[in-house]
Every structure is written in structure tokens, then in C-alpha cells.
């Protein structure tokens, strides 16, 4: 019967032999502590992120700090903005921003919402290595320079 079920406050009051009012105050205090723990955890995470973004020693390079903040934005991004569009808005290459995203993600052991899983990342890297291994040195050089590699020379046409 529902009327025979004790509330949390009634159970606490009975178990600890305290008044119902005191039991309600204790439960309210626990609810606030739970929120404090969440805020404390979030503050600790933010402190860890900032410690990675801002170097503790040596020269601080504003461009690197900016790229790491953009990387953090991408990792926490729920707007579904692509790395390409973010890099375009920042006027940096996608590869540069990608490097900072992976560096920060690896340091914090955090994968962004729109990133591949670690297994997919490893499989993709292996496929890329195999693809590059099939290219001739000239084709690799052309690709690194941003030119499309031609599989046929003009002489063979």
C-alpha cells in the first residue's frame, strides 16, 4: 500500500533516531554536496585542459595557444562544425588544426563528439600507410606539394 511506504526522510529519521525536520535538512545538504562535487569535477577538468593549453614553462607562443583553444572547441563541439570549416575560419590548414586536436585529445585522453573511434583512427592510419607505400617517390613528392599525382606520364599517352 502506498501509504505504508516511508519516504527517504522518514527512513533516515528512524534509522538515525533524529527528527523528521533534521532528516529533511540532512537530505537537502546531501543534494547540495552532489552539485558541489559536479562543479568541483568540472573545475578540475577545466584546470587540466588549461594546463595543457598554456605551457607551464618556456616561451608562450600565442598562435599555438590559439590553435589549442580551437582544438578544444572542436573536441567539445556539438554544433557539427567540421574541422575543415573551423580551420578555414581561422585561416590555417586543416592538417595543422588536426595535429593540435589529436595532440590535445591524446594528452587529455578525450575523444571529441565528431571524431572517429581509436580503432577507426588506427585502421585509417594503416590504410593510409599502405596507400602511400604504393606510390613512387615522385608521386609522394607531388602529393606533399599539393599537386595531384599522375599515374601516367605524358609519354605513355
Q: Does domain 59-137 have CATH number 3.40.50?
A: no
Domain boundaries, the chain: 1-53, 59-137
- Residue 3's pLDDT is 56
- Residue 4's pLDDT is 57
Radius of gyration of the chain from its Cα atoms, rounded to whole angstroms: 27
The pLDDT confidence band at residue 152, using thresholds 50, 70 and 90, is very low
Cα 108 from Cα 45, distance rounded (Å): 9
pLDDT digits (tens, 9 = 90+) for 2-58: 555 678 888 888 877 888 888 888 888 777 776 677 777 777 777 777 777 877 778
Burial of 70 (0-12, 13-18, 19+ CB in 10 A): buried
User: 106 Cβ partners below 8 Å, 6+ apart?
Assistant: none
- Residue 156's pLDDT is 45
Closest by CA position to 97, among listed 124, 129, 73: 73
pLDDT digits (tens, 9 = 90+) for 84-113: 888 898 899 999 998 998 888 888 777 765
pTM, entire model? 0.49
**Do residues 8 and 27 lie in contact, with contact meaning Cβ atoms separated by under 8 Å?**
yes
**Do residues 108 and 49 lie in contact, with contact meaning Cβ atoms separated by under 8 Å?**
yes
Side-chain-facing half-sphere of 57: CA atoms under 13 Å: 0
Amino acid at each position: 500500500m502506498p501509504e505504508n511506504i516511508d519516504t527517504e526522510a522518514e527512513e533516515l529519521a528512524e534509522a538515525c533516531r533524529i527528527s523528521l525536520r533534521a532528516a529533511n535538512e540532512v537530505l537537502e545538504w546531501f543534494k547540495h554536496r552532489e552539485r558541489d562535487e559536479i562543479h568541483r569535477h568540472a573545475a578540475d577538468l577545466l584546470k587540466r585542459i588549461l594546463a595543457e593549453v598554456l605551457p607551464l614553462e618556456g616561451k608562450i607562443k600565442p598562435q599555438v595557444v590559439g590553435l589549442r583553444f580551437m582544438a578544444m572547441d572542436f573536441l567539445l563541439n556539438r554544433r557539427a562544425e567540421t574541422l575543415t570549416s573551423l580551420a578555414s575560419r581561422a585561416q590555417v590548414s586543416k592538417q595543422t588544426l588536426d595535429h593540435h586536436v589529436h595532440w590535445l585529445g591524446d594528452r587529455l585522453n578525450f575523444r571529441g563528439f565528431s571524431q572517429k573511434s581509436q580503432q577507426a583512427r588506427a585502421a585509417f592510419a594503416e590504410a593510409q600507410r599502405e596507400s602511400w607505400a604504393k606510390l613512387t617517390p615522385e608521386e609522394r613528392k607531388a602529393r606533399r606539394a599539393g599537386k595531384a599525382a599522375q599515374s601516367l606520364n605524358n609519354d605513355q599517352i
